[in-house]
Structure 1
Amino acid sequence: MKRSRQVFVLSILGLLICTSQAPGQTLPKFGHVVIVLLENTDFSDSTGSMPYLDSLAAKYGLATNYYADTHPSIGNYFTLTTGQILTNNDSQTPSSFPVSQANIASLLQAAGKSWKDYPEKTGTYYVHHDPLQYMTNVNKANLTNFTQFKTDLGNHGLPDFSWITPNACDSAHDCDLSTADSWLQTNIDPLVKSTYFQPGGDGLLIIVFDENSGSGGTMTTGTTDGGQVECVIVSPFIVSAGFKSTTRHYHESLLRLMEQGLGLTTFAGASAGANNMSEFFGAGATSTLSLSPASLTFANQPVGTTSAAQFSTLTNSGTTTITISSITLSGDFASAGLGTCGTSLAAGAGCTTSVSFKPTATGTRTGSVTIRDSAAGSPQTITLTGSGVPASTPAASLSPTSLAFGNQTVGAASAAKVVTLSNTGAVALSISSIAVAGTNSGDFTQTHTCGASLAAGTSCAISVTFKPAATGSRSASVSVTDNASGSPQTASLTGSGATSSGSAPVLVQVQNNVITTTTTYTSWSVNITTTAGDLLVAFCRESSNGTDNFTVTDSAGQTWTQTASGYWNESSTGPRLGMFYVANSAAVTSVTVKFKTSGGVVKPGIMVYEISGAASSGVADGSVNNGTDSTTTSTSGSLTTSNANDMLIFATDTSGDESRWTAGAGYTIPNNSVRTGSSGSDVRMAMQYQVVTSRQTNASTAMTYANSNWNGNIFAAFRGR
């Protein structure tokens, strides 16, 4: 049977995400693909005979060495969708020849991308020119019609991938080339002129014929059995106007272009090994529109009244001007008339859109601002939320809705914190009571300036203080009873009672011992002569095992406790650090760290601090660990304490030779000749301390040193009496 079928592939691939490209390898990342197929024409017959199509080739790109894979049509259509010639029998129908092979639509679905089939069913329609109808593994709801394509294009709402099959006349199967060319100009030119293809747009249009007018077929892809056919490429990313490629391409090359351009990493059939036609594309211009904020929330607004305006800023961070086609609002929201956005937005420029809220009913009201433009990701959306309240009632709210007082000495009053009561309604708020209620209500006291009535649109302050009656967590709430919806309004109150301390601790001495050889040791000691009743703290390290849970003992045989923060590793293989302590210690002459690693560890170190005036029990008041890669500063974590008179100890080591240490603000290094290893060793230990007179919240400190090295540290607090 004589055929004059032509296959026209139109691919609009949406927003350009990545524009860099190595010829023959990478592609722009497109967001919408439309594929339109024309029928049975030799390359030499179509080129120069279709004025509109020729004009696109002259402005954009033409594949001059493009071949169909087989005869007749159906095998080429399956190659363009599955990468395989599944049959060459044009009489097969979707019911007689269902296809379950992976195809571009099923792969897009699996990747979470959208697609539609847009066949032109007015006039004579051949189903074997519409291969997605055969697929059993796709969402059948996406099989629409060409009228829907026109609607989606007009709404700037094309899916990621669109397949268009013209009818038998418009595809040049039953009519001549002039009919097909006229159809393209009427139906496809609006697409070419849309924002997808303007500077900063992201479209790709591929026009290709399914086979030439010959006959004879094959079941093997990548042959020239289907004859040479015309393939035109249209895109803002064309490398140069009128570009002509002489590279040999087949239908599986076009499938690979569409798959890869849409961001797929799994490819159907022979497209997995096909070239991707990347020589056609350069970087192109980009346009990116951002919104800040991307959502607007309106406070309670009386029904039928208009709120003050709120604004969102649109910013063009791309390299080309963005065309703004429309800004529309939905719900109980309208433009406030104060925005600065027009019909275009230059590269690097910004503009504002203004929104007001006029609720038509009570309760939560929602809407959106929809911005249609030529930028990637269009349309952009600003979500809108507001609450309608009766026009004759007040609207009360508390801000903030919680107060946290942190640690506070038992029996001592904190500084005041403030909760603001606001009336955003249209009439005065009648206040029945403001009180503290809840589990530990007696620990919190409130005073206020609100009175018995709060005028519309005004606010007043509620001041709260915390005086804990006992240690531990304490909680209550401020409760405002009034005539507004949602009464009573509440704000939660929390704090922690801490014990007071008497005398401050005093550092008596520091002794340390480190070694830098690679000899292994199962224990390592330092000599120190101490006074009974003092607190002893040991900072220990080793360099060869990131899992050694070493312990500490002394000449008196006492049990040492590790600080709550535990061990710290500079890397998975060490060095490994730990801090231990014993309160109300017996007098000792030496302290020893014992290692658990079979055969011992290398480069051990121990530093022991003797502290007088420390609590005899419950002495530890918090600890944190931290470390940093190559740097000249060792920085602690954040430490929060519950006692007023603490000694804060920051102990650190470094991975390289350090002998010059500088203390952090308010801290003292007790001995500037702290022992270090020999030059070039990776064992270095130092400490600094500070005695404080108040509880600490998220306290931190640091020590600096001369050379850039890795470090690890422990920051701990110990109570005075």
Structure 2
Amino acid sequence: MRNQVYPEYLAGNLTDTDLIDIAAYIDSFQGGAPAPGRLTVPSAANFGNQSVGTTGPTSSLTITKTGGSAVSVATVVSSNPAEFRLVSNSCSGTIASTCQLGVAFRPANAGARSGTITISSSGVGSPQPISLSGTGTATAPPSPSATVAVLEYFHAGFGHYFITAIEDEIAKLDAGTFAGWARTGRSFKVYPTAGAGTSGVCRFFSTAFAPKSSHFYTPSQIECASVNSNANWLFEAEVFHVVPVTQAGSCPGGMLPVYRLYNNGMSGAPNHRYTTDFGLREEMLAQGWIPEGFGANAVIMCAPL
């Protein structure tokens, strides 16, 4: 007597992956087209604790194709790329067996952080989400005793501002070696070397609008990489260190917000001004300059008092 298999038993006791494997097995005897495959993805990934504004080690998430035919991946998208950045992806195109996603956690604020990576494919059950989580931890700012001053200069002929904390450069500017530049009397403090909770500030130089030249500063690793890929800008160095601002535009206690303003090309060439003076920021905005940074007041970095 033949054993009878009840459909309701199969539906209640087999997973989708089991059913796909059974369908593929049956098709192998019937000569039919292979059943569609499926991607097995982690349901969640936790990145633990990470200091705000710093990037943790890259975690590898393994994606496995199970059952049926090969699966074609259309997109892999992070809902929060600023904090959960997709740094590597071998899951593009057709997946016959396994592939990996590399994700790095860089919390913008303290507390619980979250995001989702969504994989869209030709496989059964697409799109498939992976829940991401981690905790941003506040880091005490470095000792304020080890600071240097960033001095601001202005070139009346160019209509450009320039800042530097490099002693040799300051000496040459004051001596007139670099003609046309004069101190504005404004300054703010920074850290000359890296410390716990600090970010290096990239400096770029451009002569694309000669005879005028321009410098650009950013503490953002993402922005630094983006500008570095622009042939019009030359990366010079990480010239000093600051404490990173949060996504909300706030600075830790004992820190001053630094505002970055862009001249919108009004001088015929790009130029940025950096200041801790909110009143000066308002004056520049009234002149048509554009704020760049985080939060309602567009703060770009945090400087020690």
Q: TM-score range by the shorter chain?
A: 0.3 to 0.5
Q: Which structure has more RCO (C-alpha within 8 Å, separation ≥ 6)?
A: 2
Higher strand share: 2
TM-score of the pair, normalised by structure 1:
0.16
